[in-house]
Amino acid sequence: MHIARKLAPLNCEVELMFGIFSQGQKSCTKSDFKHTCLNRLRLMKDGVQEREIDIFLQSNDYIGAHPVIEKDDFVMIFRGPIA
């Protein structure tokens, strides 16, 4: 939820938001997601800790066991909390 709250001000459709992480592809690696959160979106300065991102990536029901994040999974995870 903390990550979603920080993404919400981007004010765009969740499907389009995924392009920020995937560079327009249908999936992104977990390391690309983390890098984007920390370096491009600078969520650490907004209070999101690197450890929170790691825990999210390891424990989320949709993506925990997978090496990549699929667009559909991203939408399922973030659509509700961002709305």
List the chain domain ranges.
2-82
Return the residue matching tokens 């001000």. 9
Give pLDDT tens digits for 26-60: 999 999 999 999 998 888 887 889 999 999 999 99
Backbone angles phi, psi at 10, to 5 degrees: -65, -20
Domain 2-82 listed as CATH 1.10.10: no
Task: Classify residue 23 by burial, with Cβ atoms within 10 Å: 0-12, 13-18, 19+.
Answer: exposed
- Whether residue 76 has pLDDT greater than 90: yes
Give the per-residue pLDDT at 28: 97
H helix runs in 1-83, sequence order: 2-7, 14-22, 30-35, 50-59, 71-82
- Whether residue 22 has pLDDT greater than 80: yes
